[in-house]
Amino acid sequence: MSATEKTVVISNPQGLHARPAELFARLALQFDSDIEVIRDSHRVDAKSILHVLTLGAAQGTELTLQATGADAEAALEALVRLVESDFATDETMSQGSSG
């Protein structure tokens, strides 16, 4: 199996802090593929909130997302959409309604 790769830039003014890292890792966990996030030579498991936080990705940081597996393409498309939406999800869009 070949690896699929995409590059994203963090646009969130607070960077990839705890809340976005949690959303990112939770989304990555929905896929069977192995997914890694790479910053310079630092490579971490995208499915681990703590690992994602160790990247220290501030606003403007370029990250490479790499996935290997049956749903690698779909995984990267979903993660890129999340980053490009500035970590907006249906959940964060409806903040006033807690369940």
Catalytic residues, which ones? Answer: 17
Q: Compute CA 38 distance to the chain's CA centroid, rounded to the nearest angstrom.
A: 11
Residue type, 43: R
Maximum CA pair distance of the chain? 44
Contact 16, 57 (CB under 8 A): yes
Query: Which residues, listed in sequence order, are joined to residue 81 by a DSSP beta bridge?
Result: none
